[in-house]
Amino acid sequence: MTEQQRVADSSAVPEPSMSDAQGGDASPTVSTDQVKVVKVKHLPIDEDMHGFLARLGVELPEALITQALTHRSFSYENGGEPHNERLEFLGDSILGQAVTVKLFRDHPDLSEGTLAKRRSSLVSSVALAEVARHIELGQHLRLGRGEELTGGREKDSILADTVEAIIGAVFVGLGPVVANDFVLGLVTPLFADPDRFGAAMDPKTSLQEAAADLGLTPPHYTVTGQGPDHDRIFTAVVSVGDRATGTGTGSSKKQAEVAAALNAWTVLNRQEEDAAAETAEGA
């Protein structure tokens, strides 16, 4: 492939073939009569798209990458332009399969329950949002005005959904083998410490379990609020014995407690890692 990129002549995204879904031919599903050639710099998304595609390590048809980056809010405000939710649906399945197979092969000693918990962590919104920030995805999102004004480019949920949509686009455009390799290229670095994403998914439970494992008293929360009823901000402080204290804020008591729990869990986990490192050095 030269510096030029094959792109779809129509905004309609071609559907994956049955042979692709069954792990057959990995060649692109976009036929030659559906495409034309344009230079990457002419892609109508933004001027940095060439660099973004280089970070992804793939070349995709214009219609696919455009749709993968298009949030529903943009579609609603622009005449129903195709958005990324169908690609997200497809990408979610491909992501789950790739992660499941890697975990199964890499950890023959782990039980089904442990594997399932680890998989949930690795495909969580928190984990995928970290992937999205690493490839600087946020600046390329196509968002509606409302999402733009409310910080949509930094929302974990939108970033994670778009990562899945891009995975779906890679499957449609380049086939199952390339899609699997693409997924592993994105998420393999996360396998080094998958448990931290599990804590982010349910910080209060993770903190309670950590306290029990270490023989500490259960977490104790104190929540205060300030501001008018329609714009109240809550602050939570949680303590775990004399080992860790966490603080968090939110627009509800629950949000504040969750943020505080994650803060305390991070502190407690770091203490345990430091203690383990000191023990290893002294051995």
Binding residues for Mg(2+): 88, 161, 164
Q: Per-residue pLDDT averaged across 58-75, rounded?
A: 91
Q: Which of 20, 59, 62, 92 is catalytic?
A: 92
Domain shared by 215 and 79, yes or no: no
pLDDT value of position 42: 31
**Which pLDDT does position 213 carry in this prediction?**
85
Mean pLDDT (whole number) for 7-21: 41
160 shares its domain with 247: no
Segment 197-229, tens digit of pLDDT:
777 778 888 899 888 888 999 999 999 999 888
Helix (H) or strand (E) holding 235: strand 233-240
Q: Which residues pair with 220 in a beta bridge?
A: 239
* Statement to judge: residues 188 and 210 lie in one domain: no
Is 229 found in the same domain as 118?
A: no
Least confident range of 21-30, 76-85, 88-97, 175-184: 21-30
Per the prediction, the chain carries an average pLDDT of 81
Torsion angles phi and psi, residue 163, rounded to 5: -60, -45
Same structural domain for residues 229 and 142? no
Q: Are residues 221 and 163 part of one domain?
A: no
Q: Using a pLDDT cut of 90, give the percent of the chain over it.
A: 43
Inform me whether the pLDDT recorded for 19 exceeds 60: no
Last residue of a domain, one of 194, 224, 239: 194
Residue 258 belongs to a domain with what CATH number?
Answer: 3.30.160.20
Helix extents (H) in 135-252: 145-149, 156-174, 176-187, 195-201, 203-213
Residue 227's domain comprises 202-282
Amino acid identity of residue 104, one-letter, is: F
The Cα-based distances of 36 to 41, 82, 132 in angstroms read 15, 20, 29
Q: What is the pLDDT of residues 224-273, one digit of tens each?
A: 999 888 888 999 999 998 887 899 888 899 989 998 998 898 888 788 77
Task: List C-alpha distances in Å: 87 to 68, 138, 174.
Answer: 7, 18, 14
pTM of the model: 0.64
Indicate if 25 belongs to the active site: no
Q: What is the pLDDT of residue 157?
A: 87
Our count of domains for the chain comes to 2
Residue 234 · residue 223 · CB < 8 Å: yes
Q: What CATH number does residue 21 fall under?
A: 1.10.1520.10
Given the residues 59, 62, 130, 164, the one annotated as active site: 164
Tell me the pLDDT band of 75, cut-offs 50, 70 and 90: very high
The residue that leads in pLDDT, 194 or 160, is: 160
What is the DSSP track for 105-162? HH-TTS-HHHHHHHHHHHTSHHHHHHHHHHTT-GGG-B--HHHHHTTGGG-HHHHHHH
pLDDT at 283: 64
Whether residues 65 and 124 share a domain: the answer is yes
9 is an active site residue: no
Q: pLDDT (tens digit, 9 = 90+) per residue, 139-159?
A: 999 999 989 998 889 888 899
| 72-97: average pLDDT | 95
> Where a domain ends, among 159, 174, 194?
194
